[in-house]
């Protein structure tokens, strides 16, 4: 025995007893016709036993069909109006967001980068120079970077008096978009620098020999020209990111997970981490990327290896479904990215950046190679380096659009004809570089220096010893 929902009394219906015609279990012909006229309720989809609006003596009333029809029309109109409002708001927010992101971008002119030539299929590689600036042009950068003794900025956030390039990475995306290479150039590399003109002061700097990162004091185009001259690789675009930009980006992705193989404390960058894994956000991420005395041999080479680990982890974090499927996170990431960078006019809009991102997204992480330019100590100054014997071969590989991820170093299919003519001596002979890794393979720990690379309380010691000697210094991340 069970109660039938919607009955006004406690009348019970036996499951053995066949209900009569016109009751809740068997609707009348008039009820069926009325239901058919309504259009929105099909007879075969209605549970007549459970309905609370059917006719019959047990319900004690008849439905007002005209009233119900009017009510449904009103509800439909309200629903359509609500949907229309939502669409208008979404479109409006989209336009506002687009304009906002576009207004975040800062641009500077690009010169001296050379130009790529399309192959027989009409495809060309894309080469972007990514520059990490140590500028103190803004109060945020001054606070984060410290050492604000330089004069006030004389140009934009991209350059300032005394600014150098902390990071220089040449990103090469193959013409067929099957592979990519990110080559780091140590900031203390001494090379012959071309003449260039400061875009702010208009002063011309003659050709000379110096550290390659010093070119940034005269604008990104001077750095582009110097690296184009060094490598022979045409550079289509540049991106400059400052201290505050690194903080915004790491926060926008929800932190970047890295690990260190030993306790480390670098009093110069202020990075202090215990052995193991950590999720770095904000200032901690910046400290990790700026640390040079804490990793490897205490030079730029160790720092660049750690940077590759960090960037690979950030790319994996950005590619995660939890990031890309969340509109709020995507917008926050786009907002942080556009605020963080200064670009050339060719990347000066959200549309241009989205197009570049689309091209980069075609390359799988397993075919995106991180590598550091081979170097040797500079015989004239031990604090600097010069390009190593195998550097020229690596440059030729990049200029010839040769994939560094292919075991046999086969040329990219789209570069087979044109590069053979323009770079006949290109040979895959730079494979001995031990710093080579990919986005998917770069999952190890940063190697803490075992040499006396830091000084605490006037004593030279290793970064691990410095960690133990500084118990009152708070850790950068738990």
Mean pLDDT of the region 187-196: 94
In 98-188 the beta strands, taken as DSSP E runs, fall at 106-107, 126-133, 165-173, 180-184
Query: Which residue(s) pair with 205 in the sheet?
Result: 196
Handedness of CA 212, 179, 391, 443 (dihedral sign): positive
Length of the chain: 478
- Report field, pTM of the whole predicted structure over 0.75: no
pLDDT band at 210 (very low <50, low <70, confident <90, very high): very high
Q: Is the pLDDT of residue 42 over 90?
A: no
Provide the pLDDT for residue 242: 81
Mean pLDDT of the region 322-337: 75
Residue in the structure block whose two tokens are 């400052």: 242
Most confident of 32-41, 59-68, 320-329: 320-329
Mean pLDDT of the region 266-288: 94
224 vs 361 pLDDT, higher one: 224
Query: Which residue(s) pair with 224 in the sheet?
Result: none
Instruction: Spell out the CATH class of 106-468.
Output: alpha beta
Query: Which residue(s) pair with 189 in the sheet?
Result: 385
Q: Is the pLDDT of residue 31 over 60?
A: no
Alpha-carbon distance 334 to 325, whole Å?
14
Q: For 207, which DSSP code?
A: P
User: Is residue 258 within 8 Å of 313, Cβ to Cβ?
Assistant: yes
Q: For 299, which DSSP code?
A: S
Alpha-carbon distance 472 to 238, whole Å?
41
- Which sequence spans correspond to the domains of the chain? 1-63, 106-468
Over the stretch 89-103, which tens digit does the pLDDT of each residue have? 444 546 667 778 888
């Amino acid at each position: 025995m069970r109660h039938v929902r919607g009955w006004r009394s406690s009348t019970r219906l036996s499951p053995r007893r066949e209900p009569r015609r016109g009751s809740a279990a068997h609707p009348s012909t008039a009820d069926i016709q009325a239901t058919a006229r309504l259009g929105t309720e099909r007879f075969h989809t209605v549970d007549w036993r459970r309905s609370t609006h059917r006719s019959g003596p047990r319900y004690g009333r008849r439905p007002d069909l005209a009233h119900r029809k009017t009510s449904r029309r009103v509800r439909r109109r309200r629903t359509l109006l609500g949907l229309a409002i939502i669409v208008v708001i979404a479109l409006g927010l989209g336009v506002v967001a687009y304009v906002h992101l576009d207004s975040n971008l800062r641009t500077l002119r690009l010169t001296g980068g050379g130009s790529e030539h399309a192959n027989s299929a009409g495809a060309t590689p894309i080469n972007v120079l990514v520059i990490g600036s140590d500028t103190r042009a803004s109060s945020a950068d001054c606070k984060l970077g410290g050492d604000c003794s330089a004069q006030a900025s004389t140009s934009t956030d991209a350059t300032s008096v005394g600014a150098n390039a902390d990071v220089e990475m040449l990103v090469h995306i193959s013409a067929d978009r099957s592979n990519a290479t990110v080559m780091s150039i140590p900031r203390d590399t001494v090379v012959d620098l071309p003449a260039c003109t400061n875009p702010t002061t208009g002063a011309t700097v003659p050709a000379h020999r110096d550290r390659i990162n010093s070119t940034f004091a005269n604008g990104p185009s001077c750095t582009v020209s110097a690296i184009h001259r060094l490598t022979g690789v045409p550079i289509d675009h540049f991106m400059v990111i400052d201290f505050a930009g690194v903080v915004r980006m790491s926060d926008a992705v929800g932190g970047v997970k890295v690990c260190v193989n030993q306790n480390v404390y670098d009093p110069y960058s202020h990075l202090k981490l215990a052995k193991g894994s950590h999720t770095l956000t904000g200032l901690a991420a910046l400290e990790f990327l700026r640390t040079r005395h804490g990793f490897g041999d205490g030079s730029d080479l160790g720092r660049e290896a750690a940077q590759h680990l960090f960037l690979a982890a950030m790319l994996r974090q950005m590619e995660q479904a939890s990031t890309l499927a969340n509109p709020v996170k995507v917008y926050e990431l786009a907002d942080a990215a556009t605020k963080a960078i200064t670009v050339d006019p060719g990347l000066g809009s959200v549309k241009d950046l989205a197009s570049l991102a689309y091209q980069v997204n075609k390359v799988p992480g397993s075919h995106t190679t991180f590598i550091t330019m081979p170097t040797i100590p500079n015989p004239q100054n031990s604090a600097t380096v010069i390009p190593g014997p195998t550097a020229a071969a690596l440059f030729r590989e990049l200029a010839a659009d040769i994939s560094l991820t292919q075991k046999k170093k086969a040329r990219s299919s789209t570069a087979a004809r044109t590069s053979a003519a323009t770079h006949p001596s290109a040979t895959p002979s730079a494979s001995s570089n031990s710093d080579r890794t990919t986005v998917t393979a770069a999952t190890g720990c940063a190697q803490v220096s075992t040499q006396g690379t830091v000084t605490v309380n006037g004593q030279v010691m290793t970064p691990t010893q410095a960690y133990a000697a500084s118990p009152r210094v708070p850790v950068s991340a738990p």
